[in-house]
C-alpha cells in the first residue's frame, strides 16, 4: 500500500503529457486555452499540463498557434501509443477509420483517452468503454454532447442518485439558428440555410445537421448515461427540419408555440423512446426561449425534479472548454468513473418502446382541395382511427387581405390546420396516410408533435 502511495505521489509530481490528434477548430481552441490558462490550471490541479505531441492531416497548413516543442506525428495511431504521452486527445472525428483505430490503440496501450467524437461513441461507445475499463484507464467525452454545457458529468456523477425519467433538449445549433431566424425574420428555410452556410454555422453539405443525425448521435450518449443501457444509435427515430416551412412557423406562433428540433429520450412501460424530430413547444416555456446557436438539455429525475442546462453548444472555445475539463479531471488523479456511469459489463441491453405507441397531441397542416365533401372525408378518416380534433382552422397567407385573399377558390387547395387531442402516433400517421391516398390534398400532410415541456 505504501509503495503504491509513493508511486502515486511521484506520478502527480510530473507533468500530465498530452498527445493531441486533430488540429481543426476544436484542436486549435484547446491549444489556445492551454496557452492562455496553463499556469492557472497547473495551480488548480497541482501539476503542469504539457502538449508533447500532435498529429493532423496536413503538416504545412498554417496554424494560429505555434506547436512549440511538441513532436509531430503524421500517423495518429503511432501518436496514440507513443511512450511520451499519458493522455491521447482525439479530435479527428468520424465513426470509423483512423479515429477509431487510434482510440483503440491508445486504450490498448494503457493511455487515457479524451474525445469529442460523438459519432464514434454513438456507434462503438459500449465496446470502447469495455476496453477502457479492462485497461484501467479513462474514456472521457464531455465535449461530445452540447459543447460547453457539462451535461455528461451532470448525468454520470451529479445525478447518480436519481432515477432519470426523461432527457430532452436542443442539441444542434445549426438547426436552432435556422428555426430561430425563420421565426424572427419570416424568411424561407432555404434562404436561412444559405445564410448559415455563409456564416460558417452550417457545412457545405448540411445533411448531417438538418437531417437530425448529429442530434441523434448526441441523444444516443445521453440515453445510455440516463438509463444505463448500451448505446443504440440504430434505434433512434430520426426526422430533420427540411420539411418545416414558413407556413408552419407562422401557424405555430399564432397558436402559441415555437418549433424546435428536439432530441427526446424517455423511459416508458414498454421500453425506451429515442426520437429526434421537430416539435412545437409553448412559446413561453424555458426551452422555447433558447434561440440562435445555443443548445439546452432538460433532465427529469425522481429526486432532483427538472433541471435545464443551457449554453454554447459548439464552436472552438465552448468545445475546447469541455475537452479541458476532462483533461483536468485526469490531471487531478484519483479514480475515474466508468465512461457511462456504471461498468460496461452491467449496461443493460437497449429495449425499444413499442413502435407507434407514443401518445401526445399533434399539429397537422393540410393543403385541401376546395371542393364538396373534402373536409367530411378528412374528418371521416380521422374518426376511423379515433383521432379526436381539438381545433380546425383555415389559414390564409401572411399579409393576405381579409375578405379578398381568403375567398374560396373552387377546386384549388387551401391551407387547413388541425390540432388533435392526445392520440397515438400510429393512429395519426395511419389517418394522414389514408387522407393523402384519398386525393383530397395537394401535397403530403405535414405533422409536428406537440411536446408538453
Percent over 90 (pLDDT), the chain: 82
Q: Tens of pLDDT along 392-415?
A: 998 765 555 454 444 555 557 899
Range(s) of the domain holding residue 180: 151-312
Q: Are strands 389-395 and 359-369 parallel, antiparallel or unpaired?
A: unpaired
**CATH (domain of 398):** 3.30.70.260
Highest mean pLDDT among 62-71, 151-160, 406-415: 151-160
Residue 192 lies in a domain: yes
C-alpha cell at 166: 426523461
**CATH (domain of 296):** 3.30.360.10
**444: annotated active-site residue:** no
Closest by Cα among 108, 134, 162 to 338: 134
Listed residues 312, 345, 368: the one ending a domain? 312
Same domain, 162 and 303: yes
Same domain, 241 and 261: yes
Does residue 248 have a pLDDT over 60? yes
What is residue 6's predicted lDDT score, i.e. its pLDDT?
47
Does residue 10 have a pLDDT over 80? no
Phi, psi of 105 (to 5 degrees): -65, -45
Same domain, 169 and 295: yes
Residue 222 lies in a domain: yes
Exactly one of 118, 123, 218, 260 is catalytic; name it.
Answer: 218
Residue 88 lies in a domain: yes
Listed residues 312, 347, 368: the one ending a domain? 312
The owner of cell 444505463 is: 228
Query: Taking the CB of residue 306, how many other CB atoms lie within 10 A of it?
Result: 12
Residue 350 lies in a domain: no
Residue 317 lies in a domain: no
| Tally of domains in the chain | 3
Give the mean pLDDT of 118-130: 97
Residue 239 lies in a domain: yes
Amino acid at each position: 500500500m505504501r509503495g503504491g502511495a509513493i508511486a502515486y505521489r511521484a506520478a502527480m509530481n510530473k507533468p500530465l503529457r498530452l498527445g493531441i490528434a486533430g488540429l481543426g477548430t476544436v484542436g486549435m481552441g484547446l491549444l489556445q486555452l492551454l496557452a492562455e490558462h496553463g499556469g492557472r490550471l497547473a495551480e488548480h490541479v497541482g501539476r503542469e499540463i504539457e502538449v508533447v505531441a500532435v498529429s493532423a492531416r496536413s503538416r504545412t497548413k498554417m496554424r494560429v498557434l505555434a506547436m512549440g516543442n511538441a513532436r509531430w506525428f503524421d500517423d495518429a495511431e503511432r501518436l496514440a501509443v507513443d511512450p511520451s504521452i499519458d493522455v491521447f486527445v482525439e479530435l479527428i472525428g468520424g465513426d470509423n477509420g483512423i479515429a477509431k483505430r487510434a482510440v483503440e490503440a491508445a486504450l490498448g496501450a494503457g493511455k487515457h483517452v479524451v474525445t469529442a467524437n460523438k459519432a464514434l461513441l454513438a456507434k462503438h461507445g459500449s465496446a470502447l468503454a469495455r476496453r477502457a475499463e479492462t485497461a484501467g484507464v479513462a474514456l472521457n467525452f464531455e465535449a461530445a454532447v452540447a459543447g460547453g454545457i457539462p451535461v455528461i458529468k451532470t448525468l454520470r456523477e451529479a445525478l447518480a442518485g436519481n432515477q432519470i425519467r426523461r432527457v430532452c433538449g436542443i442539441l444542434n445549433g445549426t438547426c436552432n439558428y435556422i428555426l430561430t431566424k425563420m421565426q424572427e425574420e419570416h424568411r424561407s428555410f432555404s434562404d436561412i440555410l444559405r445564410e448559415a452556410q455563409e456564416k460558417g454555422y452550417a457545412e457545405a453539405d448540411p445533411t448531417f445537421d438538418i437531417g437530425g443525425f448529429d442530434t441523434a448521435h448526441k441523444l444516443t450518449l445521453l440515453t445510455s448515461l440516463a438509463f444505463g443501457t448500451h448505446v443504440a444509435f440504430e434505434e433512434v427515430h430520426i426526422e430533420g427540419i427540411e420539411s418545416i416551412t414558413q407556413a408552419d412557423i407562422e401557424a405555430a406562433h399564432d397558436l402559441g408555440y415555437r418549433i424546435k428540433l428536439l432530441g427526446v429520450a424517455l423511459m416508458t412501460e414498454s421500453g425506451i423512446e429515442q426520437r429526434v424530430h421537430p416539435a412545437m413547444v409553448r412559446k413561453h416555456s424555458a426551452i422555447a426561449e433558447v434561440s440562435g446557436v445555443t443548445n439546452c438539455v432538460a433532465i427529469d429525475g425522481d429526486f432532483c425534479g427538472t433541471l435545464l442546462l443551457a449554453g454554447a453548444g459548439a464552436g472552438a472555445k465552448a468545445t475546447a472548454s469541455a475537452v479541458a475539463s476532462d483533461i483536468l479531471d485526469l490531471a487531478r488523479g484519483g479514480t475515474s468513473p466508468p465512461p457511462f456511469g456504471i461498468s460496461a459489463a452491467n449496461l443493460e441491453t437497449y429495449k425499444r418502446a413499442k413502435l407507434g405507441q407514443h401518445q401526445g397531441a399533434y399539429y397537422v397542416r393540410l393543403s385541401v382541395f376546395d371542393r364538396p365533401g373534402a373536409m367530411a372525408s378528412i374528418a371521416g378518416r380521422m374518426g376511423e382511427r379515433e383521432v379526436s380534433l381539438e381545433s380546425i382552422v383555415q389559414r390564409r397567407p401572411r399579409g393576405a387581405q381579409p375578405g379578398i385573399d381568403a375567398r374560396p377558390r373552387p377546386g384549388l387547395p387551401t391551407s387547413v390546420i388541425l390540432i388533435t387531442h392526445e392520440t397515438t402516433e400510429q393512429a395519426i400517421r395511419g389517418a394522414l396516410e389514408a387522407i393523402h391516398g384519398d386525393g383530397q390534398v395537394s401535397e403530403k400532410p405535414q405533422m409536428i408533435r406537440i411536446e408538453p415541456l
